[in-house]
Structure 1
């Protein structure tokens, strides 16, 4: 199977428990678009952006999400939520298959510091396989500002990167360009789903392996249903998009040991001179 249908739910939500609304939206999308095979929601859509709403791993929300995936026969990536483990809180995206099994989960590696306070970074990139379709990767919001994350997912075999986002700031326009850059530099489908309403400014983007925009949403509630063609992606990797750059092959064949990765980022004198990572205060 080379074609796979994904629906992104750019929902207008409030800073509250949104699980019932999200479950209802998942059912409505599957009813309207019965051909959809995967549903993706924005970052922190389930309970909002406050770590005060962090849940434990045995919280009932996971059973509710599993039931929503099973009842609708879809892969479900329900955005993310804060999960407490001991004294630590992680920003977590779970992945449910159409049988309602949580096949994996991803902990955001790059919390939006210094603004996203009290969140422990994850330490591992995350991929999962959709049988007879391909390998998918997961990243969250600020992760896409760091090319190492998407490049690692591609190295791990990801052909599609699912990317829940919560952005409500003026840099959303920059993020649109980052979606395209991550897509073309790794020859992947990049599915970036933002929230809308009080929590986000929308403009979700789906980009193809040539960096082409398949769809860019507006700023309000929108359901984005698209069909991915994995044969097309594999041809782009084989021949280059429009028979041009074969990016992954060139990266594979490069023999340079890049210093940031061999010597360590912390050993950069330039980076050490940047000062402490803090919220900017009044300019002097």
Structure 2
């Protein structure tokens, strides 16, 4: 085994005042209650909330406070993310830092997919975040909406990432979709996913930890929650070699693929349909966008030809030598039994009423909501 204890902190986030002292206080409580914790992850934009008017310089006193807290508790710390203004280009990025137990900032990561068009004015990062915990394993960082784009996780896991850390700020009705994405990501890329959402101005909660088999190890509800979970990195390595439950070996299958995907070549023309979609903008009241009658075949008359397409024969051109499919073996239970077979009906008392719905049985008064 290669055990490692990660704790998520799902906490109330205020949009109009600093949450930094509250974060450090919760970290103190967490480490007092669960001193075996080795890494702590807060939610996206937890320190100052979702308003970019509170953007700070790249180097600031808040980061120094978090560095001191990590050093005090000898813990790896990812204190969510903050809006930071780049001193070179003057643009604002949604940036997370990784602080080691010595209190050193070893990585900075800026969100690659700001939630546009709603996060207008926030610049997109272009560099991935991968870091190693010595003698434990390799970790990667993505922020909230990044996980909706599997290419980001593909890049990270292709570089050996075994645990995906995903600070989130989702206060909208699509949080359940994100929970499904977290499970799918864990299975597709054979990794742990630790997704921490906030409360109040920081989200609707429902943080989760998912293992490489897509099993949910923990899911928070809608209240404050500190959840230390011990994961096992050897489970990731075993599954990547033998497959999930001895089945799909997806990373090796992708490595050994016979096809390259032209959609990622912006000059290939494969994405012609995407260019017919309207601008990336917030819908307005009464919008009629998407209600036109055009279908892809009308927008792009010539469908692309894919490799191997010509090898597929239409049904009408199947060789005449293919005979009629034989009937099932009558004695195999898939057809009527032979006419000379003896059948005896079971006594009525020996045949219990079959369930119509979980908790609801025919001819009984027993029922449940199902």
Matches within 5 A, 1:202-281: 202-263=205-266, 268-281=271-284
Q: What CA deviation, in whole Å up to 9, does each residue of 1:213-269 have, x standing for no partner?
A: 111110111111100101111111111121111111111111211111244588611
Between 1:109-118 and 1:263-272, the stretch displaced more is: 263-272
Aligned partner of 2:345 in structure 1 is: none
Bigger proportion of residues as strand: 1
* Equivalent-residue separation in structure 1 for 2:254 and 2:121 (angstroms): 36
Q: Paired residue for 2:181? A: 178
Distance 2:24 2:164 in 1: 23
Q: Verify the 8 A CA contact 2:44 2:202 in the aligned structure 1.
A: no
Conserved 8 A contact 1:55-1:82: yes
Q: Does 1:65 align with 2:66?
A: yes
Kept after mapping to 2: 8 A contact 1:197/1:221: no
* Rg larger for: 2
CA RMSD of aligned residues (A): 1.3
Q: Secondary structure at the match of 2:85?
A: strand
* Higher mean C-alpha deviation, range 103-112 or range 10-19: 10-19
Q: Distance in 1 between matches of 2:14 and 2:281?
A: 27
* 5+ residue gaps, structure 2: 288-370
> Does residue 122 of structure 2 align to residue 119 of structure 1?
yes
Maintained 8 Å contact 1:135/1:158 = yes
**Distance (Å, rounded) in 1 between the aligned partners of 2:124 and 2:266:** 22
**Within 5 Å, which residues of 2 pair with 1:1-284?**
2-15=2-15, 16-85=17-86, 86-263=89-266, 268-284=271-287
Q: Report the more deviating stretch, 32-41 or 263-272.
A: 263-272
CA distance in 1, matches of 2:254, 2:262: 16
How far residue 87 of structure 1 moved from its aligned partner, in angstroms, is 2.2
Q: Secondary structure at the match of 1:269?
A: coil
Q: CA deviation at 1:198?
A: 3.5
The Cα offsets for residues 132-190 of structure 1, whole Å up to 9 and x where unpaired, read as: 00110000000011010011110111000100000000000000000011111100000
Local SS of the residue matching 1:128: strand
- Name the CA distance, whole Å, in 2 between partners of 1:180 and 1:97: 28
Structure 1 residue runs of 5 or longer lacking an equivalent are none
In structure 2, the CA distance between the partners of 1:53 and 1:33, relative to structure 1 (3 Å rule), is same
Tell me how far 1:117 sits from its aligned partner. 1.8
Aligned length: 284
Distance 1:216 1:107, change over 3 A: same
- Assess, with a 3 A threshold, how the Cα gap between structure 1 residues 265 and 105 changes in structure 2: closer, same or farther: farther
Following the alignment from structure 1 to structure 2, what is the Cα–Cα distance between the partners of residues 266 and 76?
44
Measure, in 1, the Cα distance between the counterparts of 2:266 and 2:144. 27
Which of the two has greater helix per residue? 1
What is the CA–CA distance in structure 2 between the aligned matches of 1:265 and 1:125, rounded to whole Å? 25
Aligned partners of 1:19 and 1:122: how far apart in 2? 24
Q: Please report how far the alpha carbon of residue 126 of structure 1 lies from its aligned counterpart in structure 2 after TM superposition.
A: 0.8
Secondary structure at 2:56's aligned position in 1?
coil
The TM-score normalised by the length of structure 1 is 0.97
